[in-house]
Each structure stands twice: as C-alpha cells, then as structure tokens.
Amino acid sequence: MVGTILLFFLSMIMIGPVVNKYYHYFPRPKFMQTAVVTGANRGLGLEWVEQLLSQGYKVYAGYRSDKGELANMDNDNLVVIQLDVKSNESVKQFAGKIGENIDLLINNAGVGDGRWQNLNEIDDEQSLDVIDINALGPVRVVQALYQNMNHDSLTKVAMISSLMGSIDDCQSGRSYAYRASKTALNMFTVAMKNEALKDNISFAIVHPGWVRTGMGGSNAPLEMKESVAGMMEVLQTQTLENTGRFVQYDGKILPW
Ligand SMILES: NC(=O)c1ccc[n+]([C@@H]2O[C@H](COP(=O)([O-])OP(=O)(O)OC[C@H]3O[C@@H](n4cnc5c(N)ncnc54)[C@H](OP(=O)(O)O)[C@@H]3O)[C@@H](O)[C@H]2O)c1
C-alpha cells in the first residue's frame, strides 16, 4: 500500500512537468503552486519569475512585446505568453490561455513618467497613459483571472505599488502621473478587497523598495534579488485577515 502511494507520487513528480508543458489543463499534483507574473521580461518581473521557479512554482509569465531573457529560459514549469495590460483584448487572450487555478498573481507591470517634471509640464495624454497602465492594468488582470483565483484554497495577489503613491509620504512632490497612478492602484485594491474575501482572495499592496532596475536607475540602493526575496517573505504572511495592507519588501507597514 505504502509502495503504491509512493509510486503514485513519484510518477506525478516525473510526468507532471512534461505534460504541463504541452497540456496546460493537465491536473497538477496538489502540492505544486501556480503563479502569474506580469511585466516579466525584465527588471523585477524577471526576478520574480526566477525566484518563483526556483521555489517550485509553475509560472505563467507575461511580456508586452519583447520576451527578453524569458526567451532563453528552458524550464518545463515556465509558460511565456504575450500580455499588454493596457489592452482589454490582450488581457482577455492572456487569461484564456491559463486553463487552471492560480495561487499567486504578481501584478508587476508598470511604467514611470519621467519623474521630476514641473507642474507646467504635466502632459494629460502621457498622464492618462501612465494611469491606464499602472492603475487600470492590474485591475484588468484581476478581472480577467478572477475565475482562476476563485477556488477553495487561498489565492494571494500582490499589487506592485510604490511608496510614491503614499499621500502621507509625499514631501518632495513632482512625479505627478506616476504618484497618482499608484495612489489610484492602492484605492482600487482597498475598494475591491472586501468583495474578494468570500472567494478566498487576499490582496497585498507592495512597495518593492528603491531597486536598481531600468525604472529605479543605477543609484538605487537595493538589488532585485533582495527586493523580491523580501516580497516573497511578506507574501508568506499574507492571509484573508490582513488583506489590503500597504507593505514594503521588508515587512514594514506604510502610511497611506
Ligand atoms: N524599481 C524601483 O525602484 C521601483 C520602486 C517602486 C515600485 N516599482 C514598481 O515595480 C514594478 C516593476 O518595476 P521595475 O523597476 O522592474 O521596472 P522596469 O525595469 O522598467 O520593468 C517594467 C516592466 O513592466 C512592463 N510593462 C510596462 N508596460 C506594460 C504594459 N502595458 N503591459 C505589460 N507589461 C508592461 C515592461 O515591459 P517592456 O519591456 O515591454 O517595457 C517591463 O517588463 C513597477 O510596477 C514599478 O512601478 C519599482
């Protein structure tokens, strides 16, 4: 009996990844968690993919137009799919290709706004574009993947925000559109958290710290590895009870 059970689990471990690569509908062994990462071709998104794979997750990675490093990663647990979070059509097509429950969604894709422009340089079209991608993009992804997240076990959603979206913390000003986009993302998330409670979905609004990436620049003090490892730890403590918290990579709770 014990031998049969052992044999069953061994065969699931060996066959599962191979079949998963080709047939996304194959029922996975229960102990394998599935994650989705947006904006996964570079920067923090790519680091998320690498760390999640190394922890044994199956990962669906979204890229906007250039696969970047994702193209060179040979891993049976990685599925790479085009995703522009600004486009409803693209988000729906992306979601349509994920035929299984997901346990973790990392809403990471985002853009900057040129940072330190003056008040008279605020460009309405550019600002709407930044808000569309940073605030509405993650909402579109949550809507499209809701059915995949609504299941018996807990699903964790990380909305990658920024301390720059904190109204309390906004001393230096400027960076108008980026700040406003992240503040809006925070409010969308807090406003949706109650509806999602009954469906076992918990949201963390996470600030990665100031990190050396294309967006963060070379003067940033934090390395991607440390930031993402910290955010992973934060997510381990994510529950239905603390849904909607605004927290940074090292677990510190941030002011709104
Ligand atoms: N780095 C920091 O210090 C810092 C601090 C606070 C918050 N954050 C947040 O952390 C997240 C990741 O930032 P990062 O530093 O890794 O930035 P990054 O290096 O500039 O990478 C941004 C990623 O988002 C993707 N993206 C942009 N627009 C997209 C769209 N419409 N659809 C799909 N993907 C899109 C980019 O894809 P392409 O290659 O196609 O452009 C890229 O993969 C962002 O939400 C950012 O606001 C970063």
Q: Tell the residue nearest (CA) to atom 37 of ligand 1.
A: 39
User: What DSSP character marks residue 10?
Assistant: H
- Distance of alpha carbon 169 from alpha carbon 95, whole angstroms: 35
Compute, in angstroms, the gap from residue 109 CA to the centroid of ligand 1.
Answer: 5
51-63 residue pLDDT tens: 999 999 999 999 9
**Digit-coded pLDDT (tens) for 168-200:** 999 999 999 999 999 999 999 999 999 999 999
Domain count, the chain: 1
Q: How confident is the model at residue 117 (pLDDT cuts 50, 70, 90)?
A: confident
pLDDT of residue 118: 86
Ligand 1, pocket-test mutation among 37, 41, 42, 205, most atoms within 8 A of CB = 42
Residue 125 domain flag: yes
Task: Tell me if 214 CB under 6 Å of ligand 1.
Answer: yes
Query: How many Cα atoms sit within 13 Å of 193 on the Cβ side?
Result: 22
Sequence-distant (≥ 6) Cβ neighbours of residue 57 within 8 angstroms: 32, 33, 34, 35, 77, 104
The CATH code of the domain that includes 140 is: 3.40.50.720
Candidate from 63, 213, 224, 254 with most ligand 1 atoms within 8 A of CB, to mutate: 213
pLDDT grade for 226, boundaries at 50, 70 and 90: very high
Per-residue pLDDT for 83 more than 60?
A: yes
The pLDDT of residue 6 is 55
Calculate mean pLDDT across residues 133-142: 98
The span from the CA of 99 to the CA of 112, in Å, is: 32
Ligand 1 atom having least distance to the Cα of 163: 6
Cβ of 83 below 6 Å from ligand 1: yes
Q: What is the pLDDT of residue 23?
A: 42
Domain membership of residue 9 (yes or no) is: no
- Which residue has better confidence, 22 or 44? 44
The reported pLDDT for the residue numbered 106 is 99
Residue 37: strand, helix, or coil? strand
Domain of residue 141 covers 32-248
Percent of the chain with pLDDT over 70: 88
**Tell me: the pLDDT tens digits for 6-42?**
555 555 555 544 444 444 445 455 579 999 999 999 9
Mutate to test the pocket of ligand 1, among 215, 249, 250 (most ligand atoms within 8 A of CB): 215
Q: 210 CB less than 6 Å from ligand 1?
A: yes
Whether residue 10 is contained in a domain is answered as: no
Q: Does residue 101 lie within any of the structural domains?
A: yes
Query: Strand, helix or coil at 171?
Result: coil
User: Considering the chain, what is the average pLDDT of its residues?
Assistant: 91
* Residue 205 parent element (H or E): strand 201-207
Q: Is the CB of 158 under 6 A from ligand 1?
A: no
**Protein residue whose Cα sits closest to atom 36 of ligand 1:** 39
Q: Is 160 in the pocket of ligand 1 (CB under 6 A)?
A: yes
- Check the CA dihedral 97-99-101-103 and report its sign: negative
What is the identity of the amino acid at 153?
A: S
Tokens of 250: 């090292």
Phi, psi at 248, each rounded to 5°:
-100, 175
Q: What is the pLDDT of residues 241-255, one digit of tens each?
A: 999 999 999 999 999
